[in-house]
Structure formats: structure tokens, C-alpha cells
Structure 1
């Protein structure tokens, strides 16, 4: 049998990675402090679900904890267990609530379930009867029609003298459906409904606003705000300048630069016709890495409808995607980049400070949330702290 040398002691994985993601932890902390300031008198939590929006829950959780966050929100109990060592004194709320078989995880890691249905509430009450007191939050639906007890049931429960003695939530919360559109009448309707909830649960802390809701102003802040996408540099509100610092930079290595003649086609289906002699850079990223096929320069419904494709950035130049994005490779037209300014082995920015993630998302017909949380497993990550 042949022995292979798998030693990587002298190999800089980030320096040579086909795909790399740089996460600016200093920007992340600054964004949290910005949202804290905008939250006024309310405390400011940090939402770190979906592996901190693709940025890495351990490093981001540690950074946000050191910045001052003492309330965190995750989606699943596994995320809460992962976060706990990095936020030792924080309250960690689990938005999906609790299911039979998870009790030990909540009690052993001091996690707070967000109870969102009658079934979950009944199970949690029976759990507390057996195990003793443990904090929980109550999710109330105020018009989203996703998770949460119906408004009428929640208000009834608040005044129900026959409810279990263990019913003692530490937080009542709801979620805005249209906060990213400040002019939506739904925002005020949900606010009025949640005011009823907050008043009914007098003495219990209340939380309504995620990132976009914070921008709606103090009426929406209540006791605790829950910023998520804004912490990671994404747009929280539609059609306004994004005030947040970019946190993530995604880059792909160029495998080859090739010449192609006028009249030739590019990528699958031959849908991209070259109108001049061109230079093409083939980058090591594709839809398996979350760089979606809908970012293609041609041959997809969005382009046929007249919407523009995605751009990358290299050595001071924006360069368009040429043809269809494939599973592992994407082709960029670098004809207008000086020949000595792009070579095989160089890296092209897919999104970052030069190509905002939300701009790329719009080219894909989606939102920045999906671009960030859809990052594939092949990215090598590098974390920057202040001063680096």
C-alpha cells in the first residue's frame, strides 16, 4: 500500500483555498453597537441562527458577547448547545421551541425555549411539573401567520386564573411581517396588536422588532430588540442606503484565463454569444457553493425578462458573469481588465465591500439573507479582528 503525505504543517489553507470567506469581526461588533444605539432604551440581543447567517456561530457569538450582547436567539437546540460555551452568562432563546426528547439539552445548557403553539405549551407545562422551574418565552402571532399562539388565545391565557402556576414566561415576543417596507400599513396593525399583548402580560418583558423593525423607531422597540441581518452587513430596509458595515467578503480563485473569439459561445447551452474577441476567467465557484444558477449572465428566465446578471470584482474592475453558472465553476468576462491585471491563481470578489451582497442577491432574484446563509461547505474562512 502506498503511503501518502497528508501533512499540512507548511500549507496556508486560506491562502490557497479555491473559495474563501473573510469575516470582519470588528465590523460585526460595530454593527451590533450601531443597532444598540438605534434601539434606544431597549436592550439589544443578537440573532445568530443559521450558523450566524453563514459567518460561523462560534466566532461571531464570541465577538458579539464581548461587544456586550447578553441575549441571543438561535433557531434550533443544537445551535444553542454550540453557542453556550461562547456566551456563558447570556440568555439563549431557541426560536423553534421544544420537542419531546430535547428536555435535557435545555436544562443542561440553560437554554430558553420560545413556546409557539398550544401543543408546545402543554408539553412544556408538563415538563416543568416534572423537572421544576425553568425560563421560557411565549411567541404570539400578530398577523404574520407563521409561528405563535393566536392573539385571542394569548390574551385569554394572560387572564386565565386556571392556568398552571408554572406559567411564568420571561419574555413575550412577536415578529413583524413587513418591517422592511416602512410604509406598509401592516406594521401599525401588528404594533397595535402587540401593544395589547404587552399590556396583558404586564411585568413580562416584550420584544417585537428584528433588524428592520428597529429602523421603524422607538414605538417598535419595547424592552428587547433582536437584530439579525443588519449585524452581518445586509440590508434590513428596502430602497434606502444601507448604513451597516460589510462583514463578509466572498472570493473564488481563478483557475484559468482563456481567449475566445467573436461569435463563439460560452458555457452550457451556448446561450451567451461573444460579440468581440474576449478574455474569460474561469473561477472555482458554482451553485454547489451557493453562487446560484440564477446569477448567470444568460440562458435563464431572469435574463430573458431583462434583469441584469451578477458581477464580480477584480483588481479595481467590475466584471460580468458570462453564460450560465455551473455546479463548480463560473465564467467572468474580463476583457476590459488589463491583461497583466488578472491571472490564473488570482482571486475574484463575489461579494464584499466592492460588490454588496444585496446587489448580488438582486441579480439572483433573491435577498441577501439567502446569499449569506446559502454559503457552501467549501469556503475556507478567515476571521479578522480590530486592527488586522
Structure 2
């Protein structure tokens, strides 16, 4: 079992605060509030919780447990292993769907864990139908169609061959027909309406069932995209689902790293690997216990904060450490063991992603297992 799975199943941080080089604080109350905000926008439409990739790196079990307190009873993971771990963590009751489908031969494991298959191909449909026959009962599933993203789901030609063939779905309890939007975070992109229309055409060829199309950003495209079930992920974790506009979500994470050492250097001193930076004058430096082994990409945001003061990175991000310029602070203000902020009020996840030329999803999902994880507002 990997570290993320251990963390999810234990319900507690795997690394003590004293032993860790950095602390990741996760506000479960903010996640619940974000779910409520999305529900309010959806009106009476049901709302699932996407907790794949160990809850976007924040702990699938803890996130799902928090959402269950908001009456969320449908969860989506990416992989079968994630679904099995989540079922062990949250128990029976909620539906858990495996977005990437079931690998060939894994159907008995999925059935034993009480998981719902997301069927993405004719071969997966045949295998789940056979599993239902072997079990002697109907098995739950969502049928995913490819409405234009070319990633997962039954291709239009496959759907057309299934039209009117009731035997193709014998033994399968079709809970939803679903698809995924490729450009929902670009509300003016014509691909959104093209996909919606394609989805409507394809699901009309399949047995009648509730529909699901909207992801986080899709919820903000309007009622035509809401259907019967929305599947937000990123917005739950505080990532802005409406890029270019104010973030309607509450921030969820705060990341702080410990100061390992401070020093003074003189003009001309080489700093970090390759002496990628040379001091242009006398400087005060601090080295923090945090680096790319913790998931902070070398191209990510290049500053930390202490009491609202920006502390630039100097030189390259190392595996386990980063050097900060703390000259803006008064001497002795920052000491060994103090915490500086990488994510939080001074720099959001989306801010950090913008500096790195990536998206908030990658920032969160990259955060490693070495942090002490502190869950607040349980």
C-alpha cells in the first residue's frame, strides 16, 4: 500500500509535526462550505464529490467523510485501487464510481468492494455484463460516452451499434449516462455547446437513465449543463472554477515550511546548485526544509511569506531545501524552526500555478507524503 493510501485509511497524519519539514493544513470546513455553494448553484440537482488522486492530494477518506456530513452519497475515483481503499475508509452506503473503468479481470474485486463501474468501452460492457451474470444479480454502472474530448467513453460509433439492443445491458443497473466536458473553464468556447448537443444525441440512443455532464466549471455554464448529477472536483478544494473571474470558492489549504538554518553572506557569494544566483550585495538567507521531493515543482512560484513579507527564492529549488532572501526582515526576526508560508492567504493555489505555468490541480496533486497533515474544522 502506498503512502497516500496509508494516510487515507488511517484518518490521521502519517508524519508528526515535530518530525516533518513542512506542514499542510487542510480546512475540511471550507471543503464542506464549497460543496454547499455548489449545491446552491445547482438548485435541486444532485451533487457528487470527486476524490480521485487521494482527494487531489488532500486525503480522500478525510474529504469524503467531511462531504458525507453534507449528505453527499456519491463519490468518483479514477482507479479501482482508489475505490477499494475509499470503500474500506468510509464503509458501505455511498456509491463509489471508478472513472477510468475496470481493468480486465478485476471485475470480481470491484464487485466484492461494492463499487460501481464506469463503462467506457464495449469490452468493459461485456465484462461487467458477464460479472452480473456470475453474481446472479444486477450490478450498478454508469455508461460514459465520448461527446468530444477523445479521452474516455464509448465512441459515437459504438453507441450507435448499441441503439435498440436491450440485451447489451442485461444484468446492468444503469445509474447514469455521463460524459466529460473538455473546455468548461472557457465559457465562451463553442466546444461546450457542441459537446452538450453531442451528449444529448448519444444518450438518446441508450436506455433511459439520469444524466451527468457538468464538472466543477461545467456547473457555472448554466442549467442546460446540470442534468441530474454534477461531478465537481477542483472547486471543492478551492481551485477557481471560473478562471479570469473572482474565485467563488473558499480556500482550503495552507502550506508552511520550517526554517532549517539562517546565515549572512557577502557580495559575490554563490548560492545553491550551479551557483545559479550570486549575491549582488550582503544578504540574509534562510534555508527551508522543503523542495521538489515534496512536490514543489522547480518552476513553481518563487517566493515564501513571513508575517506578510515576501521572501524571494534564491537559486534553484533543491530536492529537500530552498534558499530564501530574508533581507527584508529585521535581524533575528526569522529563526530556526519558524514557519514560512508557501500556500495560504499570501499566495493561493491558483497563484502558485500561474507562476509555474500550470494549473491548480497539478499543484495540489503533486504535494507529497512528507508533510505533517493537519486537518481543521472536522
Q: TM-score, normalized by length of structure 2?
A: 0.91
Q: Name the structure 2 match of 1:139.
A: 144
Contact kept in structure 1, 2:162 and 2:205, CA below 8 Å: no
Contact kept in structure 2, 1:23 and 1:383, CA below 8 Å: yes
Deviation per CA, 1:89-120, whole angstroms, max 9, x where unpaired? 21111112112442233222211010111221
Aligned partner of residue 187 in structure 1, secondary structure: helix
Structure 2: distance between partners of 1:346 and 1:34: 35
Give the stretch that moved more between structures: 235-244 or 209-218: 235-244
Contact kept in structure 2, 1:62 and 1:87, CA below 8 Å: no
What's the CA shift for 1:162? 5.0
Contact kept in structure 2, 1:315 and 1:342, CA below 8 Å: no
Q: Name the structure 1 match of 2:11.
A: none
Q: Name the structure 2 match of 1:44.
A: 47
Deviation per CA, 1:312-336, whole angstroms, max 9, x where unpaired? 1112212211111011111111111
Match of 2:98 among 90, 94, 102: 94
Give the stretch that moved more between structures: 185-194 or 91-100: 91-100
What's the CA shift for 1:13? 2.4
Structure 2: distance between partners of 1:293 and 1:211: 28
Structure 2: distance between partners of 1:203 and 1:117: 18
Match of 1:349 among 328, 341, 344: 341
Structure 1: distance between partners of 2:377 and 2:173: 40
Structure 1: distance between partners of 2:65 and 2:288: 33
Alignment RMSD: 1.8
Structure 2: distance between partners of 1:338 and 1:241: 35
What's the CA shift for 1:275? 2.4
Structure 2: distance between partners of 1:101 and 1:334: 56
Superposition pairs of residues 181-260 of structure 1, within 5 angstroms: 181-201=186-206, 203-260=208-265
Matched residue pairs, number?
Answer: 362
What's the CA shift for 1:311? 1.8
Give the stretch that moved more between structures: 96-105 or 232-241: 96-105
Q: Name the structure 2 match of 1:290.
A: 295
Structure 1: distance between partners of 2:169 and 2:183: 35
Deviation per CA, 1:166-223, whole angstroms, max 9, x where unpaired? 3542111100111111111111110111122343346301111110111111111110
Structure 1: distance between partners of 2:281 and 2:185: 42
Deviation per CA, 1:14-46, whole angstroms, max 9, x where unpaired? 255211111111101101111111122310000
| Alignment of 1:165 onto 2:170 | yes
Q: Name the structure 1 match of 2:34.
A: 31
Structure 1: distance between partners of 2:134 and 2:312: 61
